[in-house]
Structure 1
Amino acid sequence: MDAVVKTFPPRADNTQTEPAGTPPAQRPSQEEVEAAVRTLLRWTGDNPDREGLVDTPTRVARAYREMFGGYDQDPAAELGRTFEEVQGYDDLVLVKDIQFHSHCEHHMVPIIGKAHVAYLPDGKVVGLSKIARTVDIFAHRLQTQEAMTAQIADVIQTVLNPRGVAVMIEAEHMCMAMRGIRKQGSTTLTTTFTGSFKDHPEEQARFLMMLRGFAA
Structure 2
Amino acid sequence: MDAIVKKLVPVEGKPSREEAEEAVRVLLRWAGDDPNREGLLDTPKRVAKAYQELFGGYDADVDSVLGTTFEEVAGYNDMVLVRDIPFFSHCEHHMVPIIGKAHIGYLPDNRVIGLSKLARVVDIFGRRLQTQEAMTAQITSAIESALAPRGIAVMIEAEHMCMSMRGVRKSGSTTLTTTFRGSFEEPTEQVRFMTMVRGR
Q: TM-score range, shorter-chain basis?
A: over 0.9
Instruction: Confirm or deny that 1:203 pairs with 2:186.
Output: no
Name the structure 2 match of 1:213. 199
Distance in 1, Cα, partners of 2:9 & 2:178: 23
Write the deviation string for residues 142-166 of structure 1: whole angstroms up to 9, x where unpaired.
0000000000001111111000110
Q: Structure 1 residue 212: deviation in Å?
A: 1.6
**Conserved? CA contact 1:17–1:155, under 8 Å:** no
Instruction: Confirm or deny that 1:67 pairs with 2:51.
Output: no
Name the structure 2 match of 1:83. 70
> Any runs of at least 4 consecutive aligned residues in structure 1 with deviations exceeding 6 A, and if so which?
none
Name the structure 1 match of 2:82. 95
**Conserved? CA contact 1:17–1:154, under 8 Å:** no
Paired residue secondary structure (1:175)? helix
Paired residue secondary structure (1:148)? helix
Give 1:126's aligned amino acid: I
Write the deviation string for residues 22-53 of structure 1: whole angstroms up to 9, x where unpaired.
75264210100000000000000000000000
Of 37, 44, 53, 2:40 maps to 53
Structure 2 gaps, min length 5? none
**Conserved? CA contact 1:153–1:166, under 8 Å:** yes
CA shift in 2, pair 1:212/1:110, >3 Å: same
Aligned residues: 199
Of 132, 138, 143, 2:125 maps to 138
User: More helix per residue: 1 or 2?
Assistant: 2
**CA root-mean-square deviation:** 1.5
Distance in 2, Cα, partners of 1:146 & 1:131: 18
**Structure of greater relative contact order (alpha carbons < 8 Å, 6+ residues apart):** 2
Give 1:187's aligned amino acid: T
Give 1:137's aligned amino acid: I
Instruction: Confirm or deny that 1:159 pairs with 2:149.
Output: no
Name the structure 2 match of 1:17. 4
TM-score where L is the length of structure 1: 0.89
Q: Structure 1 residue 16: deviation in Å?
A: 1.9
Q: Structure 1 residue 18: deviation in Å?
A: 3.4
Structure 1 gaps, min length 5? 1-10
Give 1:191's aligned amino acid: T
Name the structure 1 match of 2:167. 180
Distance in 2, Cα, partners of 1:97 & 1:138: 16
Of 93, 105, 113, 2:92 maps to 105
Name the structure 2 match of 1:7. none
**Conserved? CA contact 1:149–1:192, under 8 Å:** yes
TM-score where L is the length of structure 2: 0.96
Write the deviation string for residues 166-199 of structure 1: whole angstroms up to 9, x where unpaired.
000000000000000000000000000111101x
- Identity across the alignment (%): 67
Instruction: Confirm or deny that 1:150 pairs with 2:150.
Output: no
